[in-house]
Structure 1
């Protein structure tokens, strides 16, 4: 990897020179080339400079997948600012906490997305922020977000009448034109600055200044603060540098053979590390085309995939299951997809008969996306069932007994520790000692075992292990066994029990919310007796309780057994 590939601005400029009209992103009706991305992000970067942005400025992005996110992220990174994406799933409480916790100074956002009205939400979170007496020299001064100085809203993207809108979004009330041309009226009295008003400001900044600021960015400078999904605790802001994040994606691209000729279809949100690193930054480095969709209509997404002919897929398999259930799916030509992990929508000739015999991947925000993987797309022998591949280049690993702190023998379960140049710098706002041990190891909380050939097997989260009558049970192992026997998705959890401490329970997700009465007997061929759930329940897919981050809410799921 050359020195020019470890800083985002240099990668973008090079790709814009070498493949200017090659598409970088296709998202529903949006399409931007590498040249578009370079010129548009450069113009926004110059406008941000007029607002005081520069090296180290924290710039928040509140956008769904699409060109606005890409342009905003690239613009911030080019001038050395730190990109801080926010989840479109965020509750008002989460958004407010992250605005303050990540010290956002400038926020770029869409006015609304699907059922979310972010203008109203920001007005509620930042009371009085846009009153005239709360501003000084066109800056926000608000105790609720003490570092925040500027907000720019894209009203057009949230208007359902806008061409290319993938889904209806909240219609925003009109207000009088702002007197000063910059801060105007909210829908109910005041309105945040429209992002379109930034564009003329770019003309006041010379191209030479932008180029100089780009030259001042180093590989060791922070590129992004990516929040964890918060499935087991409050989301934490993870700091990654230009060199660390780009260097890691470069290595991963070599393993999965991503090239300029590839078209990657990904359903991972850009605000999480899988979408930001393993999809967006990976595509930029490879010079490939990234395809995504925000459409709520399965038919529209299938139209997009069929027309754009992706060659590679990646993302959350559960997020495309509805596409395979659409009545038109059987008649679609999706033969272009030859590699990837979205098996449900891939052609039958490349789809595995048993996904458990293909290497899976383990990713985490703290590792800058995928940390365990394999470039071997073929079916594996039975003894390698459930493999997650091997550690990615650049990662030192240990498998440690949580009780003793000693390395575990081959085949024994332990916690995965990682260390190396691509691991995060730390959690924003926390000391290094809170993130790493004295020897620099990050304790992932993931329980794994390693076989004699060095292949890793993910068994679950350390805190999720079920302790029943003195024995440890991995929910992931039981879930896999149930899926193998039934074909249904299963969620396994521990329920309190006065005699055993906990008992194993399972909730199956089935169209008719029923459980085969013979399931326990079938599982005797797959699991030791103490691992077989003592209680079963079933729910329909639409009834699965979810957290704001889109993951299953295990606590609420457990309430099914108390109903």
Structure 2
């Protein structure tokens, strides 16, 4: 079983050596070339003092270079710490400190951010900072190629592979530790649901520093033998040209990313060749499913991406419409009372807990007892229910749930209802505390023709009166929704937006 990065690289290079592995607008690399390049760079890292277990931060945009550097580190047993290009200097220093990063590889500048100019001097674990230009100049020393190769073959599935940062709507980011075996197993278990195989030319706009891009993009392509097409900077016109030029067959990611591209498609003059399983906004009408018929694949950084789903090109049973599908092989899901931890029956809403071999190994600076229940489940903080057939329905976050006049409101339920209104492209909902209790607030990205009165009337058709937002913000595009460094909606800033 190819359950380490080194084994995956060797297997793909032997199976289809001349097939491309990763493509960006400036560079492309075959599987044979990727295997050779990562072996050489891995040996150079060994010569520079990086060993098995060494924690190495990587801060650069998507591209062949990110893939080559990250895979070289992981195959020699170093622990990769992907870092967001959206981080401010204090946020970057905090993550380097939390993960005890010993070496940092970073671009000097990207999209106006200069990451190294204000790096905190108080980082006791950090010994070396390399720019990407300096990495290009690293060379193996005498005998290090053999040592590096032996180190790579000595990596085991149980060894730590990466530390990924994630956070909820508030609180400091968490450094989530994944092993080679649990991460690769998680990717493999979700390939069918994401419709990725060795014939796929995959484009996924998520950055590699998040689990969606790292696991759903880079490692998914490596495990399945697919070709990954990526780019550092996304612009509608250039992205559409890239999708066409590289004959992309599958577009995965966030729905609003596809919707933004779809608005530019008619005037672009390009024709896409996407197959079912792609995000539907970019598919022709005859290939789209009925609303709610396809699963909303569901997961988190702690599970290394989706742990629940259904083939993205296949309708679920009608009783399961609107659900996230069923747990993948190897993953157990149970619903518990948020207060007592007792397991709840089918149909009851409570906290989602998960357990299985694809789950993270732990969280930086936290004990296992702090993270898992005594019987090994991870309390996700998400709310949901399982129906009698085992389909999981998501109801938002435990810390997002709030009461209005004594009745419970789940923001995710209100958001889903608003997205069914024609002309609404995205919606984010939260509570607005006040002297008379909570009010429901909604920030809605919609067509200019929609008004608050129209949205309110439509919401009343599908929601109980206490769930209908009383405070609205109509936004022109998805970029206006405030998000944190991990891409999740920043609830505190959302409340500020709605109270302006």
How high is the TM-score relative to the length of structure 2? 0.94
SS at 1:225 equivalent: strand
SS at 2:117 equivalent: helix
Shift of 1:271: 0.8
Q: Match for residue 496 of structure 1? A: 433
Q: Match for residue 148 of structure 1? A: 126
Paired residues of 1:508 and 1:515 also in contact (CA < 8 A): no
How far apart, in 2, do the equivalents of 1:151 and 1:560 lie? 38
- Which of 285, 295, 298 does residue 223 from structure 2 map onto? 285
Two-structure CA RMSD over aligned residues (Å): 2.0
How far apart, in 2, do the equivalents of 1:456 and 1:309 lie? 34
1:98 maps to 2:95: yes
How far apart, in 2, do the equivalents of 1:378 and 1:18 lie? 30
How far apart, in 1, do the equivalents of 2:46 and 2:439 lie? 58
Q: Unmatched 5+ residue regions in structure 1?
A: 128-143, 156-193
Q: Match for residue 196 of structure 1? A: 136
1:555 maps to 2:495: no
Judged with a 3 Å threshold, the aligned counterparts in structure 2 of structure 1 residues 472 and 342 are, in CA distance, closer, same or farther, namely same
1:210 maps to 2:188: no
1:262 maps to 2:205: no
Tell me which moved more, 213-222 or 549-558. 549-558
Q: Match for residue 141 of structure 1? A: none
Tell me which moved more, 25-34 or 337-346. 337-346
Q: Match for residue 135 of structure 1? A: none
- Which of 313, 319, 323 does residue 257 from structure 2 map onto? 319
Tell me which moved more, 292-301 or 423-432. 292-301
How far apart, in 2, do the equivalents of 1:326 and 1:316 lie? 17
Paired residues of 1:105 and 1:149 also in contact (CA < 8 A): yes
Judged with a 3 Å threshold, the aligned counterparts in structure 2 of structure 1 residues 513 and 556 are, in CA distance, closer, same or farther, namely farther
Shift of 1:516: 3.9
CA-to-aligned-CA distance 1:450-502 (integer Å, 9 cap, x gap): 11221111110110012112211111111111221243122211111333x31
How far apart, in 1, do the equivalents of 2:371 and 2:214 lie? 22
1:125 maps to 2:125: no
How far apart, in 1, do the equivalents of 2:489 and 2:246 lie? 31
1:419 maps to 2:355: yes
Judged with a 3 Å threshold, the aligned counterparts in structure 2 of structure 1 residues 351 and 495 are, in CA distance, closer, same or farther, namely same
Judged with a 3 Å threshold, the aligned counterparts in structure 2 of structure 1 residues 329 and 89 are, in CA distance, closer, same or farther, namely same
Shift of 1:16: 1.0
How far apart, in 2, do the equivalents of 1:537 and 1:376 lie? 32
How far apart, in 1, do the equivalents of 2:195 and 2:218 lie? 16
Judged with a 3 Å threshold, the aligned counterparts in structure 2 of structure 1 residues 17 and 561 are, in CA distance, closer, same or farther, namely closer
Paired residues of 1:6 and 1:246 also in contact (CA < 8 A): yes
How far apart, in 1, do the equivalents of 2:471 and 2:404 lie? 13
Shift of 1:326: 2.0
Shift of 1:520: 2.8
Paired residues of 1:46 and 1:210 also in contact (CA < 8 A): yes
Judged with a 3 Å threshold, the aligned counterparts in structure 2 of structure 1 residues 485 and 296 are, in CA distance, closer, same or farther, namely closer
Q: Match for residue 131 of structure 1? A: none
Judged with a 3 Å threshold, the aligned counterparts in structure 2 of structure 1 residues 18 and 561 are, in CA distance, closer, same or farther, namely closer
Aligned length: 498
CA-to-aligned-CA distance 1:299-344 (integer Å, 9 cap, x gap): 111111011122222111222333222265563211x211334222
How far apart, in 2, do the equivalents of 1:516 and 1:228 lie? 34
Judged with a 3 Å threshold, the aligned counterparts in structure 2 of structure 1 residues 114 and 545 are, in CA distance, closer, same or farther, namely same
Paired residues of 1:100 and 1:145 also in contact (CA < 8 A): yes
SS at 1:485 equivalent: coil
Q: Match for residue 285 of structure 2? A: 348
- Which of 353, 359, 376 does residue 295 from structure 2 map onto? 359
How far apart, in 2, do the equivalents of 1:549 and 1:504 lie? 25
Tell me which moved more, 311-320 or 66-75. 311-320
1:393 maps to 2:329: yes
CA-to-aligned-CA distance 1:188-218 (integer Å, 9 cap, x gap): xxxxxx223313xx14334321221112211
Judged with a 3 Å threshold, the aligned counterparts in structure 2 of structure 1 residues 109 and 518 are, in CA distance, closer, same or farther, namely closer
Paired residues of 1:16 and 1:38 also in contact (CA < 8 A): yes
Q: Match for residue 477 of structure 1? A: 413
Q: Match for residue 242 of structure 2? A: 304
1:62 maps to 2:50: no
Judged with a 3 Å threshold, the aligned counterparts in structure 2 of structure 1 residues 339 and 514 are, in CA distance, closer, same or farther, namely closer
Judged with a 3 Å threshold, the aligned counterparts in structure 2 of structure 1 residues 327 and 450 are, in CA distance, closer, same or farther, namely closer
1:409 maps to 2:341: no
1:247 maps to 2:185: yes
- Which of 171, 175, 195 does residue 237 from structure 1 map onto? 175
Paired residues of 2:277 and 2:311 also in contact (CA < 8 A): no
How far apart, in 1, do the equivalents of 2:302 and 2:331 lie? 12
In our comparison, the structure showing a higher alpha carbon Rg is 1
